[in-house]
Chain A
């Protein structure tokens, strides 16, 4: 893996190159100009993951810019990984923002096509899509390694040097093409890959088998996307409503049975004592959350056994406090990986 791009010196790159089973986190910037909310959420991730992805107006909902949140994280001593979509910026804006992001200290970048604006809160917006994720990767690699802008002009002075990442969805169709698409991303410059949430381990195993057969795990580091399910409703929603996601029915059933033996929602509603009802609700919530975190840890353990998987990307948006328990139980990341402590 020594020829895998130029060293940018980020924590993420160092951990990947050292061969540790890495853990990255994710944080969704707020739909407001509130800095405190970021500091509160980021605090749960500090020191326990290599770097924290900052989504770029995910699901096309307007949020604080990922680069500005990245600066706040840097000030907190947390390494950011900015996401950049092709939906809202053309090649001029992307390159401009990346010059600024590098100058501000950002070293990791995830290149994405972006969720279509139809899903967000501004469905009447004009989308850009001047480049796509793969042509964006090529452009960013050329800025870093060739010191040229997309147009071919030389970058006179400091070039923006990012560890380049890309997404992959093993559960989208056509399934046969997905490993090849990952290969295109690796060839276009992706130093690492973060996948869609894995809730169908056998299918992910089959995908990785094909990826390994193509030798792609030796061209790029592949992090499996994982996340804790918070409730039965969340599991059902992901299974039925989120495009490009597959949830093993077993997990839905386990979320359903996680609250068995506890008073049902209906029974709680008919409780006369408000404090008793509150406590019953808390216990139900806790039981479901415990099961959700348990499933997440199991999937991480399964991923550790899959050839070619270099780590996990933990997506616990709006539930950042769950990440510590996950990485502690799974014994991964800078704080809890025994191999890291020994080193």
Chain B
């Protein structure tokens, strides 16, 4: 465990470079003082301070010093290694040293930016620089590990994000496995009637893309399927998918739809139909479904529940119905994964004072969306729950479940715009109806969005600025009789207002999928507090995740409208395409290795590894790390009772040296082993 080498001081020549970062660092930290102080360390040959170390001149300083002064180790004290470690490793390499003989001290994010106390910041900077110097002398040259990229890609989720990504990759000649939980691709966009602000028919612009997916030879479409397990790492994932039995033989089915037509069992369509329409027990969510094969819903099928019926089997002209069909487990390998699992709509029942589920004529936005859709249950007619009465007045309530401390603090981004769209659709379908939009703030950022709002202002919509307190059917005077009364403070007039209407639409917000956390665990990447998948960097890496080779697109990352979702689908596809065309990636050599000759064979490490990357050699009675599987977390390194597992670049010696280095100024009272003895 102890370094048996000669004292590093005799061997290594360290160059230290303190960056001013303009005034970002130098404004708080006395960089000259730190540099002069650092030069006193016996290992340090040269210590400089320079205005911008990341500039080409700054990097050349390092390169020249390596060549001219024979430096063997480099320390740069500047920003976070997450910002510029790569930059300076490359400069170190250009100077002729192995890039891992470099260490960074983070004196900006962790130093000058975190305090106004100049003295304390300077002292902290010295500690961090000293820690880096003491650590870097123990660094060993390392080589990055090349990994081949399997050119196939897994895309999870067949909404518009997944469809876009799949088509981009497939049209570029790469094979894609597109896995969708439902019986058809299309996702949320397939449920929507019109898209804002252009009022394009949603299905009209979506279905051609769905057809393209169905017809593209490079896409293996796995609908009514779910990913069960994911093993491996970037370039080499092994995927297991369960293809649920739909009781229809795909090879025989011609998608004629007779089974659906003749099926005697009606079921409320909770999913695609938002609970306001029926489907059959054997069904396609909508006529343009891709693939066109129906799904038999065993839970509601008369045959599966009572043993009698089999109407679908009798009417099927190609004998495609197969009641005995079982789930299929399919495994395949991919190099990259794109998650485009979409969102759940906020369940408005969680706000009881809005009466959804209790007051018949309070509708959720998705219910209204289906109702106003020409292919919906009322063929596009806007009617009350009784199915016939046209409402004379409609209230649209924004921010239901969004911007609400009790539910979701964030803004769901799309609700203002779709609420405006609803108002427009009401004006279009029921020109005499009064429309009231209750909003907190009108949020319409986007191309053509504000203009759409102005259009609505001229269409006669009543805009009332105020959060709705309550929706009730308890009338106070004859004018409110039989109506729903929307109680809200009109914050522009400063008055409490009761607005009697016939119908209320609750513009529910976007939430992470209820099972997003399970999915994130399956793919070994993180969720934020709201359950949305975490991107690698909020600004600069919005579709990458902390797990290499796993990308995210669309509303699974956060609330988004269709244009942003499509853009992310494309961005994720281009990230994957980049990796495929690279062919190989170089992975950080931060990996564990076991010194077999000293391993006692206790096997403690074997079960600790979350990646099953440690195998046990029964013959030699030692454990061994499978380097390709090791992700470099170092858990086994910390656990080995014999201390014979080395965690490259985070060795015991390196961390201990850094630790002592950062504590340089408080070590006076330390007793060494010899002193104690």
Do these two chains really belong together in a complex?
no
Identify the B interface with A (CB < 8 A): none
